[in-house]
Amino acid sequence: DAKTTQPPSMDCAEGRAANLPCNHSTISGNEYVYWYRQIHSQGPQYIIHGLKNNETNEMASLIITEDRKSSTLILPHATLRDTAVYYCIVGSTGANSKLTFGKGITLSVRP
Amino acid sequence: EADIYQTPRYLVIGTGKKITLECSQTMGHDKMYWYQQDPGMELHLIHYSYGVNSTEKGDLSSESTVSRIRTEHFPLTLESARPSHTSQYLCASRGQGYEQYFGPGTRLTVT
């Protein structure tokens, strides 16, 4: 599976958009980009995934560059409860695929 | 909401004791996983299963063992606990979709 690179941390003001970057320059054609988050050592929570088109759900938006070598997770209106570690993961969707979690990026939302 | 449960949530036990961490899910998922996570560190896959009677070792070597006799249960056992086993253990499952569902975790402390 391709590896990802994320900054170690970032912060944003409550109510503002949080844009979390991720580089995955070695992604292969059949690999998806997944985002999970982990709030204070609870079990990670799935946020969103995508292949090449931009995706949006009730939690976030995922913007994938045309060459697929990087992506950005957007939380449109960050709240204090969005403070967490966010993991960008690249992997296939095959039946036997596994997720490899890196260090993630720690997002701190300030009042 | 995902229905995946882990017991106990917290366990403090002495060196040399045998312990079993329970994980169960009611979603009928074939794939189940065990991750180990030290405080402030990344998750490491230690065991996984693709179905009944299927178990595989993960990316991180572990002295623990697992079994999958029933679809809904995936217990993890340590025959002789040591202080180096002190960690958080997270169980997850996945069905036919893309999302892994995580349990709340078991915090194990071996004294």
B85: phi then psi, degrees, rounded to nearest 5 = -85, -5
The CA distances from residue A43 to A66, B9, B28, B88, in Å, are 32, 12, 19, 10
Q: What is the pLDDT of residue B98?
A: 80
Mean pLDDT of B55-66: 91
- Give the SS3 label for residue B66: strand
pLDDT at A1 over 60: no
Taking CB atoms and an 8 Å cutoff, what residues of chain B touch A98?
Answer: 33, 45, 48, 58-59
> Cβ of A46 and B101 within 8 Å?
yes
User: Is the dihedral angle over the CA atoms A5, B92, B30, A34 positive or is it negative?
Assistant: negative
> Cβ of A41 and B88 within 8 Å?
yes
Confidence category of residue A92, pLDDT binned at 50, 70, 90: confident
Q: What is the pLDDT of residue A98?
A: 83
* Lowest-confidence segment of A20-24, B82-86, B93-97 by average pLDDT: B93-97
Confidence category of residue B2, pLDDT binned at 50, 70, 90: low
Secondary structure letter of residue A76 according to DSSP: T
B42 touches chain A (CB under 8 A): yes
Paired residues of A35 in beta bridges: A48, A88
Q: Which of B45, B99, B102 sits opposite A98 (nearest CB)?
A: B45
Distance from CA of A85 to the nearest CA of B (A): 10
Taking CB atoms and an 8 Å cutoff, what residues of chain B touch A43?
Answer: 90, 92, 102-105
Q: How many A×B Cβ pairs under 8 Å?
A: 47
